[in-house]
Amino acid sequence: MIHTSSLALAGLAATAVAETIHGALVFTRHGDRTAKHFGNWVLTPLGAQQVFQVGTDYRSRYLSSSSPQRIRGISEFEYVPAQVWASAPDSPVLLTTANSFLQALYPPLGDIKPLLSAQDLANGSSVESPLAGYQYVTLHGVSEDSPETIWIKGDDECPAIKAASADFKASTEYQDRLASTRDFYQSLYPLVSDLYPSAEDLSYDSAYEIFDVINVMKIHNASSPIQDVTDDQLLQLRTLADSAEFGLNFNTSQAARSIHAQTFAASVLRHLNQTVTSADRNPKLTVLAGSYDTFLAFFGLAQLTDVSPEFYGLPDYASTMAFEIFTPGDDDSDLDVSALQVRYLFRNGTEGGSGLRTFPLFGTGKTTLPWSDFVDAMQRVGVSSAGEWCRLCQSEAVFCAAYTDDNGAATAADAGETVERGSWIAVLVVMAVAIAGNLVWAVMWLVRGRRVKEERKAAAVAAKVGSLGSESIKSYGKESV
Ligand SMILES: *[C@@H]1O[C@H](CO)[C@@H](O)[C@H](O)[C@H]1NC(C)=O
Ligand SMILES: *[C@@H]1O[C@H](CO)[C@@H](O)[C@H](O)[C@H]1NC(C)=O
Ligand SMILES: *[C@@H]1O[C@H](CO)[C@@H](O)[C@H](O)[C@H]1NC(C)=O
Ligand SMILES: *[C@@H]1O[C@H](CO)[C@@H](O)[C@H](O)[C@H]1NC(C)=O
Ligand SMILES: *[C@@H]1O[C@H](CO)[C@@H](O)[C@H](O)[C@H]1NC(C)=O
């Protein structure tokens, strides 16, 4: 008896992870939402539950005092603003997703720590915030007109990505698939005839949109004829959407297809480096919500597709990737940067049993990288300034005016430095000088003309690289979430 229990204890000690996590960054996809086909898509209650579940699991990993992966010094119950940085593009689905994740991370105090939930006033009465001591975790919404937008959604307003995607559509690989799947798509027309005017609308050219609407209806609409789409057909639709979206978001020989992953890589590095270099190791946890195309582009860029062909596939709803920085050993001495390590983890949606798994980045074959190697690798692939992004994208986004003069040449504003959080005002000032006109007029004019100009620019970029004409580019609206 004594013998077995001491063996069991020894086993436990051997498997206990002796390491100290100093910080982490989690990037999450939204949960179940309404179909993109109908526009104005929103997160559904099912989607909120999925993200909440995932957030709860991260709470167990990073916040719980009983977790071996608890982030050192992070508050377990009460939200401390400096410790958590959360951000999402200014879109309902992604803001709601981030909110749902944060609600799970720091639930109402009345539910988990009643003693902390009420505050005493001078007159002796005690007050709890609404909804049982709800904790209002700050979430930074990022407008598409702010240079900050490129860190999470660097594919919008980027004509160079559109032009590169048009190259994919011109490839024989794409054209062959378009032809060989035409019969399959058209055979589904009777089931979706109330959604599409003609069978001609169904083709590989809209692979993601068609998969999406059919998948959403399967989940939500019991009376839709789409219920007759078989599991095999749905799998085929998904696989075709996988190949179309991966091709649009990454190609080894055309870096421009994954500019959004390059800015994302720089952003991950910037957030983690902030944790490493700040005296108080804040933020300890960064939470970002974004879309599947950033996942796919990053999978390609970080060579995860060489590790497993599964990375060619669309990540499921509420998928997350996490970057953890840690030192071996669980001592309490100050962080030794030379001993600092990084690991990358991915979790495919909420189910599947496998949970959060570690994968080696950049073809190293190693599931942990020394911090300095990670920094080198991320800097090698990263795009770390808005000015560089504007130039690579040939973007006409409002904020790019600060980086180019009237002839399209780089200005003094682009000394290669990163546009930091909150320096948006500086950008506006430089922009006023650059345009040398009435600021208000210029901004309004730019915002209005932006979309039209962007399309023209995409056409111009495409013409330059000698591919498809403007029509095919216009038909491709890149707004994937
Ligand atoms: C104490 O102050 C709060 C806020 O002004 C008020 O709502 C509450 O009724 C006061 N309590 C007592 C016992 O006076
Ligand atoms: C469900 O499908 C039916 C049949 O196509 C359609 O009439 C109805 O509007 C759909 N309901 C929703 C909520 O989309
Ligand atoms: C990548 O681009 C090259 C050159 O344009 C092309 O030959 C190849 O088929 C592309 N691969 C994919 C997966 O799109
Ligand atoms: C990390 O942050 C420090 C302090 O802000 C800065 O000097 C350094 O260049 C940064 N390193 C990277 C890799 O961004
Ligand atoms: C995630 O799951 C989907 C199927 O649900 C699959 O197609 C995809 O390859 C998976 N991705 C990874 C990285 O496991």
Render pLDDT for 230-265 as a digit per residue (tens, 0 to 9): 999 999 999 999 999 999 999 999 999 999 999 999
Determine the atom of ligand 3 nearest the C-alpha atom of 172: 9
Instruction: Output the pLDDT for position 16.
Output: 54
Q: Which amino acid is at 191?
A: L
Instruction: Output the pLDDT for position 154.
Output: 83
Identify which ligand lies nearest to the alpha carbon of 119. Answer: 1
Pocket flag, ligand 5, residue 310 (CB < 6 Å): yes
Q: Which of 253, 301, 467 to mutate to test the pocket of ligand 3 (most atoms within 8 A of CB)?
A: 253
Determine the atom of ligand 3 nearest the C-alpha atom of 252: 1
Cα–Cα distance for residue pair 373/369, rounded to 1 Å: 6
Identify which ligand lies nearest to the alpha carbon of 317. Answer: 5
Residue 130 CA to ligand 1 centre (angstroms): 16
CA nearest ligand 4 atom 12, residue: 273
Q: Which of 196, 224, 226, 228 to mutate to test the pocket of ligand 2 (most atoms within 8 A of CB)?
A: 224
pTM: predicted TM-score of the whole model, two decimal places: 0.84
Cα–Cα distance for residue pair 259/65, rounded to 1 Å: 39
Pocket flag, ligand 1, residue 5 (CB < 6 Å): no
Q: Where are the domains of the chain?
A: 4-157+253-381, 386-415, 421-480
Instruction: Output the pLDDT for position 9.
Output: 38
Q: Which amino acid is at 173?
A: E
CA nearest ligand 1 atom 7, residue: 125
Q: Which of 238, 316, 357, 361 to mutate to test the pocket of ligand 5 (most atoms within 8 A of CB)?
A: 316
Identify which ligand lies nearest to the alpha carbon of 243. Answer: 3
Pocket flag, ligand 1, residue 125 (CB < 6 Å): yes
Grouping H, G, I as helix, E, B as strand and the rest as coil, residue 20 is strand
Residues in contact with ligand 3 (CB, 6 Å cut-off): 167-168, 171, 173, 247, 251, 253-254
Report which secondary-structure segment, H or E, holds 23.
strand 19-29
Nearest Cα to Cα of residue 92 among 46, 144, 19, 40 = 40
**Residues sharing a CB contact under 8 Å with residue 55, sequence separation 6 or more, in sequence order:** 100, 101, 102, 103, 104, 105
Identify which ligand lies nearest to the alpha carbon of 270. Answer: 4
Residue 242 CA to ligand 5 centre (angstroms): 9
Which residue positions in the chain have pLDDT lower than 70? 1-17, 331-332, 352-354, 405-481
Write phi, then psi, for 384 (nearest 5 degrees).
-110, 10
Determine the atom of ligand 2 nearest the C-alpha atom of 194: 5
The pLDDT tens digits of the residues spanning 12-54 come to 434 455 899 999 999 999 999 999 999 999 999 999 999 999 9
CA dihedral 269, 275, 277, 278 (to 10 degrees): 140
Residue 220 CA to ligand 2 centre (angstroms): 9
Secondary structure of the chain: what % helix, strand, coil (to 5)? Answer: 55, 10, 35
Pocket flag, ligand 2, residue 194 (CB < 6 Å): yes
Pocket flag, ligand 2, residue 221 (CB < 6 Å): yes
CA nearest ligand 3 atom 10, residue: 251
Instruction: Output the pLDDT for position 352.
Output: 60
The pLDDT tens digits of the residues spanning 390-423 come to 999 999 988 998 887 655 555 544 444 444 444 4
CA nearest ligand 5 atom 7, residue: 313
CA nearest ligand 5 atom 13, residue: 311
Residue 181 CA to ligand 5 centre (angstroms): 22
Determine the atom of ligand 3 nearest the C-alpha atom of 173: 9
Each residue of 433-462: b (16+ CB within 10 Å) or e? ebbeeeeeebbeebeeebeebbbbbbbebb
Pocket flag, ligand 4, residue 129 (CB < 6 Å): no
Grouping H, G, I as helix, E, B as strand and the rest as coil, residue 442 is helix
Identify which ligand lies nearest to the alpha carbon of 217. Answer: 2
CATH 3.40.50.1240 fits 4-157+253-381, yes or no: yes
Pocket flag, ligand 2, residue 224 (CB < 6 Å): yes
Residue 288: beta bridge partners? 27, 87
Pocket flag, ligand 2, residue 65 (CB < 6 Å): no
Instruction: Output the pLDDT for position 418.
Output: 43
Cα–Cα distance for residue pair 282/270, rounded to 1 Å: 12
Task: Please check whether residue 149 is in contact with residue 94, taking contact to mean a CB–CB distance below 8 angstroms.
Answer: no
